[in-house]
Structure 1
């Protein structure tokens, strides 16, 4: 399936500022960037780096002012593995790969150690298979209200468990924290989402079961079959679409994601109840 995705970001830059952007689609086993363009105005030197484990791509520019605009456009082919959840094998803590322990411990926005009692009370009796993270995603969808403007960049998973309101970023953080409290490796995923409305960058989480990472969207606003992956990390701090060092402020943002063929237009909606592996 093929999608065209992209964004336009504009900033006022009253004095010199450094920007690090993470908006480019990743190249992974299940996702191929067929074509892309990344333009800055004014035209500036760009430093680039690809995180080797997740494929997240970062671009840094040093801006003297008074403004900056970024335009990114890509055509991406997705070939995710779709599996029947009943066929996914559990992974006991003793067998978690050592490189994945990084995604079991608490992080800045995902205080799994503070949510352990709640996690075990709500999900501890579920089979230690795909069913556990699936129940976590469903619980968040049922118990947390999706309300724009109720949280800030400082809001954590513990805050959301208390306030029970937030946006996709917060839903993902809470899902990650619950998974980690149950010793399931989990990480934050930023993406373009084909069937998300209104258009925006989207955040979901993925959990490691067996030898694969599986996607979950507690907001239920989009389907994993239409997620074009940007980056993955411990939480939102690792894959913010823009990190700014200086007094710059955003003045405009537009995000888009369109189907590139008839198959792409149909398939995502058919996958909401399946296990989708994209990493």
Structure 2
């Protein structure tokens, strides 16, 4: 099968009212084997600015910029023509991604998960069962959750957006002793189009995509940022000062037809 060519873009329009440090994660992750053509443009009140690039987990690229005040315009576009090589799995991964985290508080789910799922099943079976459970338990409803909601809040509310689905998935998988993490992605085929969040589960030495929303074929996803939960993968953070997000936009398409996904076969982000 020939590699799936994908093209994506994003833009952020931000007003900075008081001095702050912006961090944004919108660039495609830098991974071995991934072939990409890209351009990142940043300006402050029309004058070009050069953010610092920081490398994070799994090829994550954090761009940091100190701004006194003014209108910050950020635009990014990339075309990915070759898939990345499979990510190397380390003992540190297995340790880190079994722990509870800010938005995926798996320590609150041990009893619930043991009662909801057959813990004697193989991990690959449990991964699909968790994905099916989250899909059936939640309704995709923008505005139903707050940015500070964790997996427990999402389970009780019964609704949310992609990050909420991913947090609940990650928390349940960790409670079943399957290492899991959150990945921010560009997602061709996603409707509504936006930055998308999915879970990854570590099964038999491979990171497999788990997406209870079923909003986009997993084969089309392009990795942006990887971490414990959304606290590590947000597309925009500011440290100090005051900002207003005026608008943002995201597009992601494939060259040709979108892949068909049954959401049960093992798929890794390429």
TM-score (norm 1): 0.88
User: Residue 17 of structure 2 aligns with which residue?
Assistant: 14
User: Residue 39 of structure 1 aligns with which residue?
Assistant: 41
Structure 1 unaligned blocks of 5 or more: 83-95
Is residue 26–residue 33 contact of structure 1 (8 Å, CA) maintained in 2? no
User: Residue 124 of structure 1 aligns with which residue?
Assistant: 118
Is the deviation greater in 38-47 or in 236-245?
Answer: 38-47
What is the rounded CA distance, in whole Å, between the counterparts of 1:233 and 1:270 in structure 2? 25
In the TM superposition, residue 45 of structure 1 has moved relative to its aligned partner by: 2.9
Number of residue pairs matched? 260
Q: 1:78 to 1:178 in 2, by over 3 A?
A: farther
Do structure 1's residue 212 and structure 2's residue 206 form an aligned pair?
A: yes
What is the rounded CA distance, in whole Å, between the counterparts of 2:114 and 2:267 in structure 1? 25
Question: How well do the aligned residues superpose, as a CA RMSD in angstroms?
Answer: 1.9
Q: 1:26 to 1:12 in 2, by over 3 A?
A: same
Structure 2 unaligned blocks of 5 or more: none
Is the deviation greater in 206-215 or in 116-125?
Answer: 116-125
What is the rounded CA distance, in whole Å, between the counterparts of 2:190 and 2:9 in structure 1? 14
Is residue 115–residue 177 contact of structure 1 (8 Å, CA) maintained in 2? yes
User: Residue 68 of structure 1 aligns with which residue?
Assistant: 72
User: Residue 88 of structure 1 aligns with which residue?
Assistant: none
What is the rounded CA distance, in whole Å, between the counterparts of 2:85 and 2:60 in structure 1? 20
TM-score (norm 2): 0.91
In the TM superposition, residue 126 of structure 1 has moved relative to its aligned partner by: 5.8
1:1-279 aligned within 5 A: 1-29=4-32, 32-42=34-44, 43-51=48-56, 53-79=57-83, 97-125=91-119, 127-245=121-239, 246-259=241-254, 261-262=255-256, 265-266=257-258, 268-270=259-261, 272-278=263-269
